[in-house]
Amino acid sequence: MELTVTQENLSKALAVVGRVASTKTQLPILSNILLRTDGSRLQIAATNLEVASTQYIGAKIVTPGAITIPARLVSEFVSNLPKESIDLKVVGNNLHINSGTYSSVINGVIADDFPELPTINEDSSISYSIKADDFKQAVSQTLVTASSDSTRPILTGVYWHSHEGSLFLAATDGYRLSEKKLVETASEVSAIIPVPTLQEVLRTLTDDTDEVDILFDETQVRFRLGEAEIISRLIDGNFPDYRQLIPKQSDISITIKKTDFSRIVKISSLFARESGGSITLTADGDGNTLSIHSIASQLGENTSEVSTEVSGSGQVTLNSRYLSEALSVIDDDTVIFEFSGKLSPCILRSTAKDTNYYHVIMPLKS
């Protein structure tokens, strides 16, 4: 293999793909990056056997071929080269890299030893094209409630599924739940995508990405973002019937500016560290106020209050971190917070009539 590429393109591609290469593995080849010519392009790929990340960059190909090389070393070396053209040449199992006055030889491993990259049959798969901004918003709003408990793998992903003619995303860790309606669909899909996969797709998104093309088959999902491609296994199993947890109506409703709500939650959380983040919200429909009380037995206590639009009166105790994280992902200046008593699920949503995002938080037993 012999070719020429630009330092900028190669460095960006290696940085993205290198994140997937595994350093803690019993298979040393998985800590390598695959370089392989593909027509007039250079394919740069890595896999940890769960996720495979691929980038394509333009190249001046002299001789086609392939090699795998240590991800960390080549990424750091190329990133420190000047922004000039780079000549790559494979001699035996070594990669010779030359750029201006810089040259190095990196010991590689033949590409035949690299795991075969996964593929998806486009003809028998379900496909979607989602605007990049919509994709980013939907994934960010649901990732936050996914579980990190590996003993319940079903909950460690985001559930993509069709329901009544729309594509929904949902995630829950058993204490909170989020649901996002994304696009209309005529297809039937039901897939649980691992959180690390979606995080990797978000990191791979660039300002130049207009759309994310998504392809589902029975066991895998593929994301295509311009010249980048990520393929991942799906989590096997059935996601719980979460819709029964979303309250259809609530006795108490508070309409409040998000900045005001976030501020009093943050202040109250400072006094709630000793009690596992426990804060008590009190809605006063007569006085149109929302107050939050928290106690730190060693430090003191705090009550923060804000005047706002309140219908009904009551109290509920929540985890302050869950509430802060919910507020951080709602894209609206004003939010509606609803609950029906100390033990009923609380719901947080936008004030928009056609809101397509719901965030549910289970109360703490006070």
d(CA 223, CA 153): 22
Strand order in the sheet with 289-296: 300-307, 289-296, 278-284, 314-319
- Mean predicted confidence (pLDDT) in 344-354: 89
pLDDT tens per residue, range 77-126? 999 999 999 999 999 999 999 999 999 999 999 999 999 999 999 988 99
Q: Count H helices, E strands: the chain? A: 6, 26
Confidence at residue 14, expressed as pLDDT on a 0 to 100 scale: 97
Confidence at residue 26, expressed as pLDDT on a 0 to 100 scale: 79
Residue 47 above 80 pLDDT?
Answer: yes
Residue 354 above 80 pLDDT?
Answer: no
- What are the phi and psi torsion angles at 146 (to 5°)? -75, 155
Q: What tokens does 144 get?
A: 């936050």
Of 152, 136, 273, which Cα lies nearest the Cα of 206? 136
d(CA 14, CA 21): 10
Query: Helix 132-143 vs helix 195-204: angle between axes, to the nearest 10 degrees?
Result: 140
- Mean predicted confidence (pLDDT) in 329-344: 94
> Residue 366 — pLDDT band, cuts 50, 70, 90?
low
Confidence at residue 355, expressed as pLDDT on a 0 to 100 scale: 82
Contact yes or no for 157/201 (Cβ under 8 A): no
Contact yes or no for 177/171 (Cβ under 8 A): yes
Confidence at residue 220, expressed as pLDDT on a 0 to 100 scale: 97
pLDDT tens per residue, range 50-69? 999 999 999 999 999 999 99
Token pair 């426990």 is at which residue?
Answer: 278
Give burial (CB, 10 Å; 0-12/13-18/19+) of 17. Answer: buried
Helix boundaries (H) for the chain: 7-18, 71-79, 132-143, 195-204, 258-270, 320-328
Of 187, 194, 184, 240, which Cα lies nearest the Cα of 221? 194
Instruction: Please report the beta strands in 234-356, taking only residues with DSSP state E, as ranges in sequence order.
Output: 252-257, 278-284, 289-296, 300-307, 309-311, 314-319, 334-339, 346-350
State what percent of residues in the chain have pLDDT above 70.
Answer: 100
In sequence order, which residues have a C-beta less than 8 Å from that of residue 40 and are 6 or more positions away? 58, 59, 61
Look up the CATH number of domain 2-113: 3.10.150.10
d(CA 344, CA 339): 7
Residue ranges of domains in the chain? 2-113, 122-243, 246-361
Q: What tokens does 210 get?
A: 């207009």
Confidence at residue 302, expressed as pLDDT on a 0 to 100 scale: 92
- For the chain, give the mean pLDDT: 95
Residue 280 above 90 pLDDT?
Answer: yes
Confidence at residue 147, expressed as pLDDT on a 0 to 100 scale: 97
Of 257, 271, 267, which Cα lies nearest the Cα of 351? 257
Report the CATH fold assignment for 122-243.
Answer: DNA Polymerase III; Chain A, domain 2 (3.10.150)
pLDDT tens per residue, range 135-149? 999 999 999 999 999
Residue 245 above 90 pLDDT?
Answer: no
CATH code matching the domain that covers 246-361, chosen among 2.40.50.100, 3.40.50.10070, 2.60.40.1890, 3.10.150.10: 3.10.150.10
